[in-house]
Amino acid sequence: MKDLHWLSATEIAAAYAARSLSPVELVTALLARIEVQNPRVNAFISVDAEGALAAARQAERDILAGRILGPMHGVPVGIKDSIDIAGLATTCHSKIMLDNIAREDAPVISHLRAAGAILLGKLAMHEFGFGGPTFDGPFPPARNPWNLAHHPGGSSSGSGAALGAGLVPVALGTDTAGSIRNPAGACGAVGLKPTYDLLSRRGVFPLAYSLDVVGPMARTVPDIAQALDALAGPVAGPVAADAHRRPFGRDLARGLRGLRVGFVRHFHEVDEVADADVAQGLEEAVRVLRSEGAEVRDICLPELHQMQSVTGVIWLAEAWAIHAKWLRERPADYTVATRRKVMAGAFLTAGDYVHAQQGRLKMIDAVDDAFRDVDLILTASTYETPCRIDDTVAYGRNYPRQARSPFSCTGHPAIGMICGMSQSGLPLTLQLVGRTYDEITLLRGAAAYERATPWHAMRAPLR
């Protein structure tokens, strides 16, 4: 068997079924890997070794007795530190919340436990999902396993870094304007921002109430589908049962033939010009999609900066509403970057927020209109590879050069995934977007692209 730390969740489930691997053996190997590599990548801010080993022993007993809870049974998962795990601190990577011990599991955590997943600990993030890879917080920032001098994307930075470094097979992140898709792609992995409201946000510290989602991150698309089945929990909630169809990965093997893909070329060629490596990676992705049987055509959406501006106003206004009290009472306990960003929300008016919400409805209509003629939308994810982590000027420019936030605002599900390697040796990424509550087709398209390309099998050199 190959190195245990590079096993996918689907491979882990198969190995358990064949009795060629035990959960205790796997968790012990991952804990050893974390001990060696985490001081370099800073992905975990806390490791629950005792709890993970206890869960692994229970999973081993269950599996040997034939009590299989599903494909996530015995699969280790890392959790972003804005998500509550009972008895552990939820710090949001901030001095403000260092003593915030969760009283109960967030529902997504309860669902993972019910599916038999093993929780390894809490993963680093940007402070409150906002600040960036700063050095004045309570924990060091996570680093990119492909080049430790560079940032790993954010704000689910530890989740991306842990996957890229082989510390976990599956991680949980949150996404408000790209915070799952960015680190997943930047670290050579896959990240799904599900449809808004598909997964519970209770027990997750908010960044912006009307934009936040929780979602899975992994090294392969089948693992994303496997984790999503567990995270969604029992069929319930305000949407129709059809929106919670199971399993989410049931069409993974169908391929691309017959799917229509709309390529939003103007995002990275006209609205904001992408680096040459990024543009070339997208063109190669289009070639692959066509060779696999998809019909790819150029489509137009509203101008990128207009869509980003609408999202930005909503994001800032809601973040200010959450943090205003602490910022007045404890400003010095925030990192400089977070304090500066969130305080900008204080200068927005109610009219600004209402107008942005009106703009949001127009954006939703525009994307829904596009889906009348296509099944998936392809866009750039980011327009340049991750810059150095210690270059504040560069990452102030690097982070906004992206096309992820519009689909957080519209609520459509979106995947960020590796689509090549830049000349500098860092992953290139693309973004696929699906119809609301149609994660099945989105995952189908992403899986077909993944099978047709070698990128998901590449491993970071940890240099």
| CATH classification of the domain holding 436 | 3.90.1300.10
The verdict on residue 392 lying in a domain is: yes
Distances (CA, A) of 374 to 173, 188, 258, 296, 450: 28, 27, 11, 9, 20
Q: And the tokens for 295?
A: 């019909």
The CA-CA-CA angle for residues 392, 408, 216, to 5°, reads: 85
Q: How many domains does the chain have?
A: 1
CA torsion sign for 134, 136, 142, 146 is positive
**Weakly modelled stretches of the chain, pLDDT under 70:** 1-2, 235-245, 463
Q: The domain containing residue 268 runs over which residues?
A: 92-99+121-457
The verdict on residue 156 lying in a domain is: yes
Distance CA 161, CA 87 (A): 24
Contact 31, 52 (CB under 8 A): yes
The verdict on residue 53 lying in a domain is: no
The verdict on residue 16 lying in a domain is: no
The CA-CA-CA angle for residues 139, 104, 166, to 5°, reads: 45
Contact 248, 221 (CB under 8 A): no
pTM of structure: 0.96
Q: For the segment 118-167, what is each residue's pLDDT rounded down to a tens digit?
A: 999 999 999 999 878 999 999 999 999 999 999 999 999 999 999 999 99
3-state secondary structure of 24: helix
The enclosing H or E element of 172 equals: strand 170-175
Q: And the tokens for 127?
A: 């402070």
The verdict on residue 73 lying in a domain is: no
Catalytic residue numbers read: 80, 155, 179
Give the type of residue at 418: I
Distance CA 317, CA 351 (A): 11
Q: And the tokens for 13?
A: 């489930």
Q: For the segment 224-252, what is each residue's pLDDT rounded down to a tens digit?
A: 999 999 999 875 544 444 555 679 999 99
Our measurement of the distance from residue 283's CA atom to the centroid of its chain's CA atoms, rounded to an integer in Å, reads: 24
The verdict on residue 86 lying in a domain is: no
The verdict on residue 372 lying in a domain is: yes
pLDDT, position 398: 87
The verdict on residue 64 lying in a domain is: no
Is 338 exposed, middle or buried, given 0-12, 13-18 or 19+ CB atoms closer than 10 A?
buried
φ and ψ of 193, to 5 deg: -95, 105
